[in-house]
Structure 1
């Protein structure tokens, strides 16, 4: 007998199937088959695939938010860096995780509670509210964009799309564009190090362009 159908079960199943199907292959029909129900049964809980993606993104957000946060007296850079790193780690657990997350509408108010906590740290460090929001949103946008590109190369950890192999890419581009051909390793390898370097650049940029900061920069 199939388990009782409820929204949480549908979301958990969809996230589990995501690694198998990718975003394009994740359909309500495929999820219904996995749950041993008819596809129309899912529409009692989700009126469209986008509604399901909103619920999936909300769950991903909750996974990221559940990771232990820095201490209350940690510098603002540590808090912004933590938010970016935990989001990236969470999204990388799922094929197309960043695409699922991007542009969705969170359900409930969990996100407001977490945002309030992060903004409080930035405000205490001397940010004006608009500057605090910009800092947080810029870190969010950097992380989402970075992971979308990272998952194009590595759909899952340990899996690489051969199209982005630096050697085959260099041969494809040809010797008439030597710098572009040689850029492959810098573009498509070393994602961990590149993310950390990009995050350091972002934090340093926030520090020198935001007026009124106090404490360590």
Structure 2
């Protein structure tokens, strides 16, 4: 009989395993049964930690957020522009690390209060630049919504870096749409060069915040 002891099953271990499996199966294929099998336990054991799959997704999104914050260098002296740019670049990088990462993150409810300290710091930077709290919330939420939406679309074409879904060949698309030259040419801007696409869109969002609220 083996005397090897397994690590105790806890929320963190379950979420870590789920995030790892996510890259193999995608969100649709991620089941509690598959996660339990990977952990070598029966599926009901997971219900001691998560009441349903959405509760697990909430914990996965929270862990993604923790890793995003750990990998993003923020400075209390950041300008409001620098802070919006840094936070959303970090968010995109974190989401791209997982197949369907943006779908998992979108609409999830953070567990615990890990995010509150960082949200407080971001809001202090924005309100310190002259925004009201409501304006700061609108600015941050709009930038975040842009980032999550962008990555959702990006992962619809490239589920993971280096992968590309069938049916998104830009040259083939241009050939089919030859009768619509502007729309055909737009394919290179829509389905290639995602880093540049993201930066241009984020710059538009930040410029819009500045223009809307009269920030220098």
Distance 2:52 2:172 in 1: 40
1:188 corresponds in structure 2 to 191
Taking structure 1 as the reference length, the TM-score comes to: 0.93
- Structure 2: which 5+ residue stretches go unaligned? none
Q: Which residue of 2 aligns with 1:121?
A: 125
Partner secondary structure for residue 164 of structure 1: coil
Name the counterpart of 1:92: 96
- Classify 1:174/1:198 alpha carbon distance in 2 versus 1 (closer, same or farther; 3 Å): closer
* Structure 2 Cα separation of the partners of residues 86 and 80 of structure 1: 10
1:123-181 deviation line (CA, Å, top 9, x unaligned): 1110011110000001100000000011111111111112111122234x433333222
Query: What are the within-5 Å matches in structure 2 for residues 93-112 of structure 1?
Result: 93-112=97-116
Q: 1 CA distance for matches of 2:56 and 2:197?
A: 32
Deviation at 1:199?
Answer: 1.0
Give the RMSD, CA atoms, in angstroms.
1.3
Alignment of 1:75 with 2:79, yes or no, is yes
* Number of aligned residue pairs: 212
Cα distance, 1:57 vs structure 2: 0.4
- Structure 1: distance between partners of 2:47 and 2:169: 42
CA distance in 2, matches of 1:169, 1:68: 37
Deviation of the 1:72 alpha carbon = 1.9
Give me the whole-angstrom Cα distance separating, in 2, the residues matched to 1:176 and 1:127. Answer: 48
Deviation at 1:86, TM superposition (A): 0.4
Could you tell me whether the CA contact under 8 Å between 1:77 and 1:203 is conserved in 2? yes
Q: TM-score normalised to the size of structure 2?
A: 0.94
Alignment match, 1:140: 144
Structure 1 runs of 4+ off > 4 angstroms? none
Contact map agreement 1:70 1:78 (CA 8 A) in 2: no
C-alpha separation in 1, matches of 2:55 and 2:72: 29
